[in-house]
Copies of this chain bind each other. A is one copy, B any other.
Amino acid sequence: MNATTACCAPIVREPISPADAAELAAALKAVADPVRLRLLSMIGSHPGGEACVCDLTGAFDLSAPTISHHLKTLRVAGLIDSERRGTWVYYRVVPSALARLNTLFTPLAEPANV
């Protein structure tokens, strides 16, 4: 299965296959959490498009291990990448993962009123 092409049809253009639905549901489960949505947003909107854990923990009333666990969930789902540089691990959003969800929810154009 070519997941890259199969994934990218808008959900309302044609019935999604069971295999694609399972794969996309896993990615959506990863973002369907308020803390992880906020983390994704903070990382993606951070100057330079990347953020270290040190930029993220202050906004939450959560322990560092809990934040790390949420970041791992996003990373395993392919939504963010991480890179260690010196003391810190830096995170960035994976543009293709975001684009895939963006396409999935593309509404159909309104039908012409003829």
Copies in the complex: 2
Which label, helix, strand, loop or mixed, suits the secondary structure of the A interface? Answer: helix
Tell me the count of chain A residues lying within 8 A, CB to CB, of chain B.
40
> Would you call A34 and B22 a contact (CB within 8 A)?
yes
A114 at the interface (CB under 8 A from B): no
Beyond A108-B44, A108-B49, whether A25 also contacts B37 by CB under 8 A is: yes
Question: How far, in whole Å, are A67 and B83 apart by their CA atoms in the complex?
Answer: 43
A86 at the interface (CB under 8 A from B): no
Chain A contacts to B: CB under 8 angstroms: 11-16, 18, 21-22, 24-25, 28-29, 31-35, 37-38, 40-42, 44-45, 49, 59, 93, 95, 98-99, 101-102, 104-108, 110-111
